[in-house]
Amino acid sequence: MLFVDDDSELLRLLREFAEGWGYETLSELDSRRALATAIQFRPDLIVLDAVMPFMDGYQVFDALRGEAKTADIPILFLSGTGRDVKSRLKGLEKGAWDYLTKPIDLDELRARLAHHVSQRQRTLLSEDKATEVVKRTAVFLNHSINNLLCTIQLAAELTGANGTPQEKRRAGLVAKNVQGIHDVISKLRKIKRVVLTGYIGDERMLDIEKSIEEEAPLLPGAPGADEPDDEAVADEKGSDDKSRER
């Protein structure tokens, strides 16, 4: 599980207690790094402080929900202002699974962590089975459709080789589209998880692009985010120097 809080001592204690209860833990002091860490490690639960500098917990929550790889991770808000009903409702209305207030009761914390992690693991088990079905289907489709595409492409090439200029252009168009179909089908074999998107009405379909693994982004303003590459900076500097020499 991932703990996100700007209080280093509280983070240390939370991890110490959670690890004593048998959980593997991660922590982030800088709220802007929370999204990248969550995407990289896919924790079963995120315990998120509501009040932090740079980005507060509600902004981090929105970023997590806006990213396909973290959208379904349970989030438990933790706040010293949580005794205020409006603060609790704000987190719960956003879709947080739970809300704990400081000072923390350890028995309550242990019970809530156990409940949410257990729920998450049951959900992941179901998703894993669905992903395996999709992967097996993808392998079958990839093989079957590629055989058909190969036949179409060979027929087009034979037609174009001895045909008129117009027939050759048509053969080239067929070959181009065959390659496009091949590229789409190949993506099915790269699927790592099942991500669904809206289709028609209440119907949903597999979102291939979001189901493929991507690198974990940093939240805007996080240390290291959008920083220029050293080599790129050197190349740019070198170009400027040459321009001045001219």
**DSSP string for residues in 135-175:** HHHHHHHHHHHHHHHHHHHHHHHHHHHTS-HHHHHHHHHHH
pLDDT at 71: 85
pLDDT at 58: 85
83 pLDDT above the threshold of 60: no
Which of the two residues, 65 and 242, has the higher pLDDT score? 65
The SS3 call for residue 47 is strand
Say which CATH superfamily domain 2-104 falls into: Response regulator (3.40.50.2300)
Question: Phi-psi category of 25—alpha, beta or left, where left has phi over 0 and alpha has psi -120 to 50?
Answer: beta
66 pLDDT above the threshold of 90: no
Q: Which of 59-73, 77-91, 188-202 has the highest mean pLDDT?
A: 59-73
Residue 99 per-residue DSSP state = E
**Which class for 111: exposed (0-12), middle (13-18), buried (19 or more C-beta within 10 A)?**
exposed
pLDDT at 196: 73
- Every domain of the chain and the residues it spans: 2-104, 126-211
Q: Identify residue 76 by its one-letter amino acid code.
A: L
Tokens found for residue 232: 């790129």
Instruction: Give the span between the Cα atoms of 171 and 120, in whole angstroms.
Output: 52
Classify the C-alpha dihedral 102-6-59-40 as positive or negative: negative
* Mean pLDDT, residues 125-153 taken together: 74
pLDDT at 17: 94
Task: Give the pLDDT band of residue 157 (cuts 50, 70, 90).
Answer: confident
Instruction: Give the span between the Cα atoms of 120 and 75, in whole angstroms.
Output: 11
Q: Which of 15-19, 156-160, 205-209 has the highest mean pLDDT?
A: 15-19
Tokens found for residue 26: 């991660």
Instruction: Give the span between the Cα atoms of 20 and 113, in whole angstroms.
Output: 13
Question: Phi-psi category of 97—alpha, beta or left, where left has phi over 0 and alpha has psi -120 to 50?
Answer: alpha
6 pLDDT above the threshold of 70: yes
Residue whose pair of structure tokens reads 């049951």 in the numeric block:
122
Query: pTM surpassing 0.85?
Result: no
The rounded mean pLDDT for the chain is 76
